[in-house]
Structure 1
Amino acid sequence: MDEVEVVVAHSERATLRVGDVFLKVDADQARIDVEVEAMSRAPVPTPEVLWREPPVLAIAALPGKTLGRLGGPSTRSATGSSTGSSAAWAAAGAAIRRLHHAPLPPWTGRAGRSSVALAAELDAECELLVTRGLLPADLVTRNRRVAQAALRPWTPAFTHGDLQIAHVFVEGHEVTGVIDWSEAGQGDALYDLATFTLGHENRLDDVLAGYGTDVDLDVIRAWWSLRSLLAVRWLIEHGFDPFAPGCEVEVLKSRM
Structure 2
Amino acid sequence: MTSLPRSWARVERLDAARTVDALYARTGVRFALEGPCPGGQVGAAYVRRPDGRRSVLKWRPHSRVADMRAGPLAVTEALRLAGYPAPATELISQVGHAVVMVQELLPGTTLDHLDQRSLDQALGLNQLQADRLAGHPGIPTVEFHLREDGPGYCLHDPLRRYNRRTAAFERWIAAVGADHPARMAGRDAVHMDFQPGNILATGGSITGVIDWDGAARGDRRFDLVTLRFGIHSTEADPGVTHRLDAVLDSFPEDILRPAWAHMSLRMVDWAIRHFTPADVEHWLDLAEQRMS
Taking structure 2 as the reference length, the TM-score comes to 0.61
In structure 1, C-alpha distance between the alignment counterparts of 2:280 and 2:166, rounded to whole Å: 18
What SS does the aligned partner of 2:147 have? helix
What SS does the aligned partner of 2:279 have? coil
- Figure out how many residues of one structure are paired with residues of the other and give that number: 230
| CA deviation profile, 1:43-84 (whole Å, cap 9, x unmatched) | 31111323223231011322123333xxxxxxxxxxxxxx23
What SS does the aligned partner of 2:137 have? coil
1:163 alignment partner in structure 2 = 194
Deviation larger for 53-62 or 132-141: 132-141
Contact 2:133 2:217 in 1 (8 A): no
In structure 2, C-alpha distance between the alignment counterparts of 1:189 and 1:133, rounded to whole Å: 34
Deviation larger for 243-252 or 19-28: 243-252
Contact 2:222 2:259 in 1 (8 A): yes
| CA deviation profile, 1:150-175 (whole Å, cap 9, x unmatched) | 83685432222332332222334533
The one-letter amino acid paired with 2:85 is P
1:193 alignment partner in structure 2 = 224
1:6-25 alignment runs, 5 A limit: 7-9=40-42, 14-18=43-47, 20-25=54-59
> Match for 2:60 among 26, 32, 39?
26
Unpaired stretches in structure 2, ≥5 consecutive residues: 1-31, 49-53, 233-237
Contact 1:21 1:60 in 2 (8 A): yes
What SS does the aligned partner of 1:183 have? coil
> Match for 2:148 among 112, 121, 125?
121
Unpaired stretches in structure 1, ≥5 consecutive residues: 69-82
2:261 alignment partner in structure 1 = 225
2:86 alignment partner in structure 1 = 46
> Match for 1:62 among 106, 131, 136?
106
User: CA 1:109/1:236 → structure 2, altered by over 3 Å: closer, same or farther?
Assistant: farther
Contact 2:195 2:230 in 1 (8 A): no
The one-letter amino acid paired with 1:38 is V
The one-letter amino acid paired with 2:261 is S
User: CA 1:155/1:38 → structure 2, altered by over 3 Å: closer, same or farther?
Assistant: closer
CA drift at 1:208:
8.6
> Match for 2:130 among 96, 100, 109?
100
2:74 alignment partner in structure 1 = 37
CA drift at 1:90:
1.0
What SS does the aligned partner of 2:148 have? helix
CA drift at 1:247:
5.8
Contact 2:159 2:269 in 1 (8 A): yes
| CA deviation profile, 1:128-167 (whole Å, cap 9, x unmatched) | 521355963334445656x569836854322223323322
Task: State the percentage of identical aligned residues.
Answer: 21
CA drift at 1:194:
0.6
Taking structure 1 as the reference length, the TM-score comes to 0.68
CA drift at 1:95:
0.7
What SS does the aligned partner of 2:91 have? strand
The RMSD of aligned alpha carbons is 4.0
> Match for 1:87 among 117, 120, 126?
117
* Bigger relative contact order (CA 8 A; separation at least 6): 1
In structure 2, C-alpha distance between the alignment counterparts of 1:45 and 1:108, rounded to whole Å: 20
